[in-house]
Amino acid sequence: MVQRIVNPKLFAVEAALIDWTRVVRRSGLDGFTDADYEALRRSRPRVHLRWAVSGRAGFPTGPFTVWRRKAGDGEQQPEIMDYQLDRYLYGNLLILKWYGPPMAVLRIKGEMTSEGVIYAFSGVPSPQNVVATVSLQPGTFTAELRGPMLTTAMIYGSVDLSEVAGIPAEQYGEPNEWTEQEVVGLPIDDFGVWSTIGSHTDKQGLMADLGDPIPAALARLDRGAPPIGWPHYANGIAVPAWERPDPGLLIEEAQRELLSRLADILRLPPEQQAGTRIEVTVPRPVNSAGQRMSGPDSTGLVSPFALAMSAASIDPFFSLALGMGTALDAGEDQLYRKQIYDYMITAPYAQGLDGNSEPIELAALALDPQPPPMPPVPAALDTDIAGMQRPYATDEAWRASVIASWSRLPATGLFRVASFAAARLPQAPAGQPLLLLEQRDSGGHRPIGGDAPPQDDQQAAEWAHASDGDLPIPPNPGTAQTIYAVSTQNIFGMWSPWSTAERVDTQPGLDHVGVLAATFRATAPPSGKICPGVLEIDLSWDWRVRSVSSFTLVGRLFAAPLRNSPAPDTSVPGGLARNLGGGGAAISVSFNGNAANISEGQIRPMKADGSEFLPGPDTAQAVRRYRLTIPGFSVDFGATSHAGLALWIRARERIAPHRYGPWQANPILTYASDPVPPPIERVVVPLSSLPDAAGFCHHRVAWKPAQGAIGYNLYASDESAILDENGMAELGPSATLEQRMIRLRNAFIANPSRRTFTKVNDRIAEGTSLDVKLPRGSTAIHLHVALPISAGGVEGVWPVHDTMFEDNTVDCVAAPRLLTPTAPTLEVRRVLDTTAVPQRERIRVELRSNPGPRVQRYELFRTRVEEATHDVDTMGPPVAVIDGATASFQHETVYDEHFEVEHLVSANGHDDPEGSWKRVWYRAVAWSHPDLYRGGLVDRSPGSHLVSAVLPPNGPPDLSVITATWPGGDPNAIRLNWTSTAPIAPTPLGSHRLVVSAQKRNAPGEKALLAFASTLDKVAYGSDPQVWRTDEGGAASYHATVRRAALADALAVTIRLTDPLGRLTERFLDIEGGSALVRPDIFDVQPARPPIVGLTFRTSAPLTPPPQGAYRLAISATFQSSILRPLSTRTYSSDLHSIPTQLPINPRNPIEVARIAGSKPLQFAVRLQGTVRSLQLRIIAPDGRYAEYTGGAVR
């Protein structure tokens, strides 16, 4: 005899005794049509059965069988059991436990001293596990509870038990007195395909009328489909009528969408069916306007088993059509409780659940079916706005996304909400009611599945939701008053009354006018300080949402002490002021279609980037840009140095109700400054040459020739002598040459004394110029006067006129000086930059100026060649020039009021030389600011002291994947090969250390076949019995030989390379018995850098295909879809060597993969388009072995 197993976790049934006429009468529902009452009249009382198998069991190998028997017939008498009664938490709540197996029938005797209730559970005591209840009155009682697998009970009330007895569930399912009622199976019509799949082509139907599957399915739908649907009215408002699907078309729909996909997976062992997925085409979404998203249809992976079970568990019609439910007539004796019947459904598994065992039957018990409770009315229904979508076309309705939420009932075993319906009922403006459900191909609408509450979010578990993603809000009046209605349904097709919630949605206001740039310019007049001004302002408007009828520009002109002074009055004025304290009319820009006209000035359309003007509006641009040029401003800069213009602008929409947009909350500010240059009198003091090798500065004094002169005597004096002659003190070092010259000139004109002058030339100068040397280190201004000499040896008259400096009678000169800064202080050190993504080590550079001339910039020099560090000029060009504007360095500057310069005090930043284990050497120099007003010239400081740092390569040491080859000779020998760019010689921070280990797998007690540890410089070069290296190019090649005791031995190899910082890279290789072929692996899985959604990972699989074939990458991702649709799954597959090294700039596929060039071991980047619920990666070797990574949600 085939073993029959009762286990509700694998196979469960829901049962209800339904008289539809009583249902309507009991519910108090009204509003049914004559057709509804006619359908009710034709209906008969029936026992409705709905069942489902779990994914652990899979689909049976043949049709289900429905059994019935009278309660008590053939069943054994309940056996008295030992029991334990414990008080639970408080008062009169008791837990009853018995010492025995799960029961199908539980009989309890005792005496109640108060009213009470007994609850029977299938599983631990919890609301979702309640399967039977009985109410008790005070006095002696005998209570009998029936359920598929009762494991415990709870008694509420004051009770004294005398006996507990029961019939075990396993015994209840035995064949005694059970009679077959019906064979129920899949609605198969293609016997050619299904004849080799189990016994699904067996006859089906009531035992008295067995036949083909399709007529049997039609008969089930006729008996079991609900005659009526949801109520026609929700709080007096008509709801679209419920429609019953056409049975024949419904079966065709089930065959097309479900059975065609089930056929292949039902050939698999039952326990593997739920996890098997197939690829399906996912069409592009369509909005309410009928517009389909651009791009091709996509594909996804779905489980046909899960689709079928989901459809059968939420849709009363699909459960009947798919053979997961039926309805059997109930007589008056059963209806009026004169006779109790039990039902059983059995499912055959010809070769067990694993497809390779003895046959079994799973049995589901439905004991004493009762009339079901009405589905609960959705409680606490509320709605909320989830977002707004812009109109599909300009000036059309905004689209609101609305979420309806209601309190989710706690899960219970006594009843279940299988699905729900939602409707939108427009009120103002009036409109047609709309069901928020998907239309069936067979007629009517598909209900929305009552999704299971999430286990990890308590707040979300308390609420159920429906969404309306396309509620239109008409432009006029700009509001939509809507009622949303929700009704719940149980699996037998009974609907609750509608629950309603009303809401009013308002379209968003107009946008601000975009102000991209605003420039206020004033130009200098021919005379005076009243300057004309022009305003240029660039505006933008998005025409995709609303067309505009006009812009209005207003503003206020104000005196500004500074160019960033705030506006003193930020209230919006009525016009645009054209002068300080004045007024003016507002500027109006009107639109006639796309053409724009301005009330004053000029408006010109531009390209979106503002690069050029256009001859007319570019209607292809969604966001259009305009430049307004408004003349006619007048600013008197006699009273202020700057004038500010505070501007506000708003738009008015073209369509009714012609709303105005908002003004800016804060005005747009633009400034103009006094353009009239001040009168300047400048006195220039020429500079001599720089000092020669002897330290003398040279200057050539030239003069005008004098008539009749045979030569000239040149006389010289200096600033100190002349000021001393006139009793005047010298100015301090902060005084400019110009200030000193003016003071010196005025003193000499007032007292042109010759006493301070000495003759320069020993012999008469015959020309009109003479080279003079200024004293070493002189800082004074030097004056020279040339006097003509007549043939009689008489000198000309000493100059005393006021214009002697202007006509160059007196020559002036000063010696320049080089402003050589002190060498800066330089410090460098290696630091971890935690602001970088990802974090990395960098060289921290800190520079400080020392006392001396003011510094305008630093130059940083760098080299890795120690011999080149003796002088900065041998270190190559500077790697960084750092001044106050260098964004990559933080700098501290101080403004020197005397010298009128902003000079550098310090600078801190980072240098990023390529990572290396060699030292990097640094020097720095400082450059001074020029001081031309005082004769100071730019000079470079000496080099700073020499400093160094070591910036190791970013990340752990390089270590390639391990490959295994046969070295020849001994067939048990395996040669391990790997490479590394890690330096062999000791670095300034220490040596790299190599550890190699090879161990027979699954033999922890055996001695390692290879155990090697050494620094890299100690690894032998050439050949060695154990570990050696063979070359020292860019990457050194390393080898090791391992000899197995037997060819079939599997090995576990570990290679570990540690750098001087302790960073570690490990490589593992599992070598199967036989020949060595790299085993695929996946490691170092990391999320991708934002904004990319995805991840990166590494693998040791070879890029170059071995002789056996290429390694492949396979990806499967399940993407989140809308509430109305199931999740969609996408796949990707490619040979590793065929994967490109760059992700496309414009992704076209939901899954994009790129290999990161130069990565060792191989690293790949995966980019995902959308929110991913689950992800699976596989690296598949040529021999079919694979490594797998499975992850959860990716955002």
pLDDT score for 918: 92
Q: How confident is the model at residue 1147 (pLDDT cuts 50, 70, 90)?
A: confident
Q: How confident is the model at residue 336 (pLDDT cuts 50, 70, 90)?
A: confident
What CATH number has the domain bearing residue 478?
2.60.40.10
pLDDT value at 154 more than 80: yes
- Specify the pairing of strand 1064-1071 against strand 1051-1058: antiparallel
Tell me if 345 sits within 8 A of 49, measured CB to CB.
yes
Helix (H), strand (E), coil (C) string for 976-1032: EEEEECCCCCCECCECCEEEEEEEECCCCCCCCCEEEEEEHHHCEECCCCCEEEEEC
Residue 730 lies in a domain: yes
Clarify whether residues 1142 and 1100 are in a common domain. yes
Clarify whether residues 557 and 455 are in a common domain. no
Instruction: Reduce the DSSP state of residue 496 to 3 states and report it.
Output: coil
Residues 93-143 have pLDDT tens digits of 889 998 888 988 899 999 999 899 999 998 888 877 888 889 999 999 999
Total number of domains constituting the chain: 8
pLDDT value at 900 more than 80: no
Alpha-carbon distance of 534 to 453, in angstroms, equals: 65
Last residue of a domain, one of 367, 402, 420: 367
Clarify whether residues 395 and 496 are in a common domain. yes
Clarify whether residues 213 and 358 are in a common domain. yes
Amino acid in the structure at residue 1174 = S
Question: Is pLDDT larger for residue 192 or for residue 576?
Answer: 576
Question: Is pLDDT larger for residue 729 or for residue 1090?
Answer: 729
Residues 1103-1118 have pLDDT tens digits of 988 756 789 999 999 9
Last residue of a domain, one of 925, 950, 975: 950
Cis ω before 127 (30° cut-off from 0): no
Clarify whether residues 7 and 112 are in a common domain. no
| CB-CB neighbours of 470 under 10 Å | 18
Clarify whether residues 531 and 410 are in a common domain. no
Residue 717 lies in a domain: no
Question: Is pLDDT larger for residue 974 or for residue 51?
Answer: 51
Residue 820 lies in a domain: no
Which residues form the domain of 491?
379-506
Average pLDDT over residues 1074-1090: 80
| CB-CB neighbours of 256 under 10 Å | 11
Q: How confident is the model at residue 226 (pLDDT cuts 50, 70, 90)?
A: very high
Average pLDDT over residues 606-621: 88
Alpha-carbon distance of 550 to 441, in angstroms, equals: 50
Residue 65 lies in a domain: yes
Clarify whether residues 345 and 395 are in a common domain. no
Considering the entire predicted model, what is its pTM? 0.58
pLDDT value at 909 more than 60: yes
pLDDT value at 895 more than 80: yes
pLDDT score for 1195: 56
What CATH number has the domain bearing residue 550?
2.60.40
Clarify whether residues 768 and 832 are in a common domain. no
Q: How confident is the model at residue 1173 (pLDDT cuts 50, 70, 90)?
A: confident
Clarify whether residues 799 and 755 are in a common domain. yes
HSE-up of residue 991 (Cα within 13 Å, Cβ side): 12
Clarify whether residues 1030 and 1150 are in a common domain. no
Looking at mean pLDDT, say which of 89-98, 685-694, 970-979 comes out highest.
Answer: 685-694
pLDDT score for 1125: 58
Q: How confident is the model at residue 86 (pLDDT cuts 50, 70, 90)?
A: confident
Q: How confident is the model at residue 1081 (pLDDT cuts 50, 70, 90)?
A: very high
HSE-up of residue 229 (Cα within 13 Å, Cβ side): 21
Alpha-carbon distance of 535 to 556, in angstroms, equals: 12
Tell me if 716 sits within 8 A of 760, measured CB to CB.
yes
pLDDT score for 843: 93
Clarify whether residues 876 and 1018 are in a common domain. no
Residue 684 lies in a domain: no
- Could you list the beta-strand ranges (E) of 43-184: 46-53, 64-70, 79-80, 83-87, 93-98, 103-112, 116-121, 130-136, 139-150, 152-156, 159-168, 179-184
Residue 969 lies in a domain: yes
Alpha-carbon distance of 744 to 710, in angstroms, equals: 31
Q: What secondary structure does DSSP assign to 589-629, as a single string?
A: EEEETTEEEESSSEEEEE-TTSSSB-SS--TT-SEEEEEEE
Residues 358-390 have pLDDT tens digits of 999 999 999 889 898 889 999 999 999 999 999
Residues 247-288 have pLDDT tens digits of 999 999 999 989 988 988 999 999 999 999 998 888 777 665
Torsion angle of C-alpha atoms 459, 465, 469, 474, degrees rounded to 10? -100
Residue 692 lies in a domain: no
Residue 437 lies in a domain: yes
Last residue of a domain, one of 314, 334, 367: 367
Clarify whether residues 160 and 207 are in a common domain. no
Q: Could you give phi then psi for residue 1191, rounded to 5 degrees?
A: -130, 170
Alpha-carbon distance of 1188 to 1166, in angstroms, equals: 15
pLDDT value at 1075 more than 70: no
Instruction: Reduce the DSSP state of residue 721 to 3 states and report it.
Output: helix
Instruction: For residue 77, count CB atoms less than 10 angstroms from its CB and return exposed for 0-12, middle for 13-18, buried for 19 or more.
Output: exposed
* Non-local CB neighbours of 192 within 8 Å, separated by 6+ positions: none
Q: 13: which strand partners?
A: 51
Tokens of 836: 């970088």
pLDDT value at 550 more than 60: yes
Say what percent of the chain tops pLDDT 90.
64
Residues 803-836 have pLDDT tens digits of 898 888 999 999 999 999 999 999 999 998 888 7
